[in-house]
Chains A and B, each alone.
Chain A
Amino acid sequence: MAQSNAKKKPVGAMIVMGIISIALYTTLLLKQDLISSTFARGGWYALLPIIMAFVFSYFHGSFTGNFWTVLGIEAARKKKEIK
C-alpha cells in the first residue's frame, strides 16, 4: 500500500528499533533455558518477566509502529475523535 502524503517516513527509527528488537529476541531464544528457569523461580523473581515484558513492548512496539508507518499504513486523516 503506497503512502499518499509526503510526510517523512521513520525509516531510521524503524531500523534501529528493529535491530534492538531482533537482538532481544535472539538473546531470549539463545539463552532460553537459563532465562525461562530463572524467570520461573517465583517470589521476587516474578519481577523479571514483568520487566522483560515492558522492555520488549517498548522496543518491539516502537518497531512495529514504525513498520506500518514506513509501509504507508497510517490512521485515517479525518477527525480523530468519533463521539
Chain B
Amino acid sequence: MDIMTNFINLDAITILYLFGVGFVGGLVSGFIGSGGAFVLTPGMMSLGVPGLVAVASNMCHKFPKALVGAMKRAKYGQVDLKLGIVLGISAEAGVLYGAHIQEKIKAAFGDAGSNLYVSVAFVVILALVGGFVLRDAWRTYKSGNMDTKEKAGKLALWIQSINIPGTMVYFKSINARVSVLFTIPLGLATGMLAATIAVGGFIGVPAMIYVLGAPSLMASATELVIAFVMGLGGSLKFAMHGLVDIRLAMIILAGSLFGIQLGAIGTTYVKPFMIKVVMGLIMVIVLFSRGLMVPVYLAQLGLIDKLGEGTVKLLKNTSFAIMIFALLLGAFIVLRAMWMGRQAERLQHASGALEHGEV
C-alpha cells in the first residue's frame, strides 16, 4: 500500500488559488458537462503536488461536483439518468483499461514517453472532435437556425434504426431505442480519454450528440452523471492507495460548487448551440496548449535534438497560460451568454410580451 506523506503545506494564497480555479472549472463543467480538470491537475502540480496525488485529488472533487451539477440540471429536465448510468458504467471500465495502457507505456518508455502519449492523444482527439464540434456550431450560426429544435444527424439516425434483439434500450434524451452494443464502446472511449487526459467529456458529450442523437443540452447534462459514476469509482481506487489529498479536493470543491450552480443556471438562458461553441473553442485552444509540449517530450526521448533549458521553460509556461486562457474564455462566454439571456428575459417581461410557456 502506497502511503503519501508528502502532502503540501497550504497557505492562504494556495487556498485562494485552488478556490478560484475550482470556481472557473465548475462554471464551465456546469455548462458543458466537463472541463476544468485539464487546468486543475497541472495547476496542482505547479504547486508541488505529485502528479498522481493531483490526479487523485482532482477526481475526488469531481464526483461530488458532478453530483450537485447533475441534480441541478435534472431540475431543468436536462438529465437522462439511464443513459448517464449506462455510459458511466462502461466508462468506468474504460478508465481502468486506459490506466492500464498508461502504466504499460510508462514502464516501457518512462515519464517522457507517457507524457508524449498523453499530449499526442490530446492533440489528435481534440483536433478531430473539437474541430468537428466547432465546425458544426459555426454552420448552425451561419445558417441562422440557432433557435430551431436540434435534429439527430445521419449517423445517429442510422444507429437508432439498427435493431439488435435483446440489446435495445429506450433513452428519453434520444427518444428512441438504441442498442447498448453502441453505447458500450462510447462509454469505454469516454473512460479511456478520462484516464488519459482527465476530461472524458470531450468524447462523451460529442458522442451523445453526434453518434446517439441526443440534444446538446441533454448531452452536456448527462455527462455530469457519467462524470459522477467515473469519478466515484476512480476516487475509491486512488483513495485505497492513499493518494487523495482530501484538503485539496475539498478546497477545489468549495469553489467549484459555486461555479457549477452558476454554469447550470446558465444553460437555461442560452441557445443549445452555445454548448457546442464553448466546448469546441476550449478543445481547439487546449489542443494548441498540449501541442506546444510535444517537442519537449520528443527531445526528452532523444527523438529530436535536445532543447535549451530556457526554451523548455518557455514552452511549459506558454502551454499552461494557454490552458488557463481556454478555461477563462469558456467562463467568459458562459457568463456573457447568461447576462444577455437575462437582459432579454427582463426586457420581454417588462414589455409584457412574455409569450412562452411554463414558469
Contact = CB atoms under 8 A, between A and B. Distances in A.
B40 to A, nearest CB: 15
B346 A79 contact: no
Contacts of B265: 68, 73-75
B65 interface: yes
A43 B358 CA distance: 50
A78 B268 contact: yes
Interface stretch (B87-95, B202-210, B252-260): B252-260
A49 B357 contact: no
A53 B253 contact: yes
B16 interface: no
Given A42-B3, A53-B64, A80-B358, A75 B268 contact: yes
Given A52-B250, A82-B272, A4 B349 contact: yes
Interface residues of B, number: 60
Most interface-central of A29, A45, A64, A77 (chain B CB within 10 A): A64
Chain B facing A: main interface SS: helix
B142 interface: no
Chain A facing B: main interface SS: helix
B96 interface: no
Interface string A28-50: 11001001110111110111111
A83 interface: yes
A29 B63 CA distance: 21
Given A36-B7, A61-B68, A83 B242 contact: no
17 contacts: A29-B247, A32-B247, A35-B247, A40-B5, A46-B239, A46-B244, A49-B60, A49-B239, A49-B244, A50-B235, A53-B253, A61-B71, A67-B258, A78-B345, A78-B358, A82-B217, A83-B215
Given A40-B3, A56-B250, A75-B265, 13 more contacts: A28-B250, A29-B10, A29-B247, A37-B5, A40-B7, A45-B239, A46-B240, A48-B246, A53-B249, A68-B265, A78-B345, A80-B76, A83-B175
